[in-house]
Amino acid sequence: MYRILIIEDDFVIAQSIANHLSTWNYQAEYVQDFQTVIEQFQKFTPDLVLMDINLPFYNGFHWCSEIRKLSNVPIIFLSSVSDNIISRNL
């Protein structure tokens, strides 16, 4: 079973995504404490990360670079931000 970590600060959205993924037999978990994102990532060892851009404390770009120091797991940004992320250096 594939493990998907959801890093989204809107818990209604995070829980909805996790519930939907579980109907497709994925093991989904969402971050609840945004001061311990890396610890939760290491504990869960996901096969995929779904991440929002605007998050408490640090944004998704920060967490993406921190995760990259530990893993090459695929990261997909899901966000309603209207910023052009293609021009950013990830």
Q: Residue 80: what pLDDT?
A: 73
15-47 pLDDT, tens digit each: 999 999 999 999 999 999 999 999 999 999 999
- Which has more confidence, 72 or 78? 72
Residue 66's contacts (CB-CB under 8 Å, 6 or more residues apart) are 37, 38
On whether the CB atoms of residues 5 and 44 are closer than 8 A, the answer is yes
Using pLDDT thresholds of 50, 70 and 90, give the confidence band for residue 86. low
49-76 pLDDT, tens digit each: 999 999 999 999 999 999 999 999 999 9
Q: Residue 79: what pLDDT?
A: 79
Q: Residue 83: what pLDDT?
A: 58
Helix, strand, or coil (residue 4): strand
CATH homologous superfamily for 3-87? Response regulator (3.40.50.2300)
Q: What is the pTM of this model?
A: 0.86
